[in-house]
Amino acid sequence: MPQSRKAIIIGAGPAGLAAALRLHQQTNIQVTIYELRAEPTTLGGAVGIQPNGLRLLDRLGVYEKAAARGFISSNLTLHSMQGHIVAQQDFVGWAREQTGFGYMRIKRTDLVDVLLGAVQKAKIPIHFNMRLTTIKESDESVHVTFGDGSTDTADMLFGCDGIHSFVRRAYVDSKKTLEYSGMSGLGSIIPTSILSSSTTTQITGLDATLTEDGMLAVNPCSAGKDELFCFFSKEVGLPNSGDSRDGWAVHRKEEVDGFKSAMLETLESAKGEWGIAMKEVVDSISVVNFYPVYRLRPGGVWSRGRCILLGDAAHAMSPHAGQGVSMALEDVFLLSRLLEDPERPLKKAFEIYDRIRRPRINEIFKLAAQNAQVRKKTGPWGLWLKEVQFSLAMTLSWVFGADKRGLRQGHLVYDVDEVDLV
Ligand SMILES: Cc1cc2nc3c(=O)[nH]c(=O)nc-3n(C[C@H](O)[C@H](O)[C@H](O)COP(=O)(O)OP(=O)(O)OC[C@H]3O[C@@H](n4cnc5c(N)ncnc54)[C@H](O)[C@@H]3O)c2cc1C
C-alpha cells in the first residue's frame, strides 16, 4: 500500500473547496485548506452555472444541496427598450437533454457554503485568516509560511487563490499581468417581496434588456424566487489615475453612487409593461457592487515544481460566458484524475494536465470575449441592429432546427471525466 501524500490548498473559493472534496473522494492525498479571509467571502453576487459545471457539482455530491438554494431555469428572454420580446429560448435545452442538467443561478455565498459544508462533513482541515507569505521547495517537499508565523509542509500545493493569486505572483508566474477587459459589472441582490407582483410575474428566468449603454439582466437566484439578482454589464474606461487601487476606489464610489440615477436615465425611454418593471427593479436597489472585469490572457505558466494554479488563479476570464466556476471545477476534476495513480510522477501529471486544459480554456476565453461584444456601448441604430441580429439568429435557429441539434451548446456537454489521459 503506497504511503498517503499530502497537499496544501491555498484559497477556499469554489476551486479550492472543490479540489479538497475531489481529492478526498478520488485519491489517497490528505489535504489542508488555508484561506486568507476570516470567513467565506460575500463577493460575487450570484453566479450562473451551466450543465458542464452542474454535472461536476453532482459528482462532488453537492448538487442537490445547491439546487435546494439556487434557482433553476434556462428560459432566456431578450426584451427590447420598446417593450416587446426580441427573442426567447431555452438556451441550454439540448445540453440538458444530453447531460441531465440545466442552468442554475445561485448566490456565491450559498455555493461556497454548500461546498464548505461538504468539506467539513468530510473532516478536511480548513484554516481561515491565514495569509501566505512564502513558498519554498526542496527535492522532497513544498514548504509554506503564513503571516502568523505558522508553517506547513506537503508533497504538493494548489494555488486556488483567485485572480490576484499570491501563489502565481510570488512563485509560479511572476511575469503574468492582469488585463482590464474594458467592461465592468454592477450587481445587486433584491428581495422580490419589495417588488410588485406585476413585475415579479414577468421575470421567468434570465431576462435581459439591451440598452445603448450595455446589457441589464435580472435572474432569480434563490429556490423560492424570493431573491433576484440584477446586473448591468457595461463598458467603463480606466480612471485617469490608471490601474491603481486609489483610482479604482474613487471610481468605484462614483459608479455606485451614480448607478441608480444613471440606470434610470438609460431606462427613461423604456416602454411597455417591461419598461415599468425594469424601472421598478432599479429603483428598489439599495446596495450596488461594482466589479471591474480583469482577466488573464491565455498563455503563461500554470505550474512550477510541486505547485500548480487552478481556477481564476490560472485563467481568470470575463464572466460573459458564465463559465468561471465550471472551468474551476473542470480543472479540479482533471487534476484529481491525474493524481489518482500514486505512481504517476507529479511532473508528468502537471504536463498532461497542461496539454489537455489549454485548448479548452482558450476556447472558453474566446467565447467569453465574443459574448462581451454585445454589451458594448452603442447608439440607437447600433442597438436596433443588435436586436434584429438576435431576433434573426433565434428565428433561423428555430426554423432550421439548429437549437435542437445543439448549435453553440457543444461546450456545455464537454465531460472532463471522459477525456483521454494519454
Ligand atoms: C462580475 C462577475 C460575474 C461573474 N459571474 C459568473 C457567472 O455567472 N458564472 C460563473 O461560473 N462565474 C462567474 N464569475 C467568475 C467566478 O466568480 C470565478 O470564476 C470563480 O469564483 C473562480 O473561483 P476560484 O475559487 O478560482 O477563485 P475565487 O472565487 O476568487 O476564490 C479565491 C479564494 O482564495 C482566497 N485567497 C485569495 N488570496 C489568498 C491568499 N493569499 N491566501 C489564502 N487564500 C487566498 C480568496 O479569499 C477566495 O476565497 C463572475 C465573476 C465576476 C467578477
CATH of the domain at 365: 3.50.50.60
Does 407 score more than 90 pLDDT? no
Does 244 score more than 70 pLDDT? no
Ligand 1 centroid to Cα of residue 338, in Å, is 24
> Is residue 257 in a domain?
no
pLDDT of 45 reads 87
Residue range of the domain that includes 37: 5-45+59-69+108-178+295-373
Ligand 1 centroid to Cα of residue 319, in Å, is 11
> Is residue 50 in a domain?
no
Ligand 1 centroid to Cα of residue 274, in Å, is 33
pLDDT of 238 reads 66
> Is residue 201 in a domain?
no
pLDDT digit string (tens) for 277-318?
Answer: 999 999 888 888 878 888 999 999 999 999 999 999 999 998
CB within 6 Å of ligand 1 — which residues? 10-16, 34-37, 41, 44, 47-49, 132, 160-163, 166, 185, 291, 293, 311-313, 319, 322-326, 328
> Is residue 362 in a domain?
yes
**For residues 176 and 325, what is the distance between their CA atoms, to the nearest angstrom?**
21
Using CA positions, which residue lies closest to atom 35 of ligand 1?
A: 11
> Is residue 98 in a domain?
no
Does 231 score more than 50 pLDDT? yes
- Number of folded domains that form the chain: 1
Q: What's the whole-number mean pLDDT along residues 149-176?
A: 97
Pocket test for ligand 1, best of 36, 112, 150 (most atoms within 8 A of CB): 36
pLDDT of 86 reads 87
> Is residue 239 in a domain?
no
Pocket test for ligand 1, best of 47, 132, 215 (most atoms within 8 A of CB): 47
Using CA positions, which residue lies closest to atom 18 of ligand 1?
A: 324
> What is the rounded average pLDDT for all residues in the chain?
90
> Is residue 314 in a domain?
yes
Ligand 1 centroid to Cα of residue 103, in Å, is 19
> Is residue 210 in a domain?
no
**For residues 218 and 229, what is the distance between their CA atoms, to the nearest angstrom?**
6
Range with lowest mean pLDDT among 139-143, 184-188, 353-357: 184-188
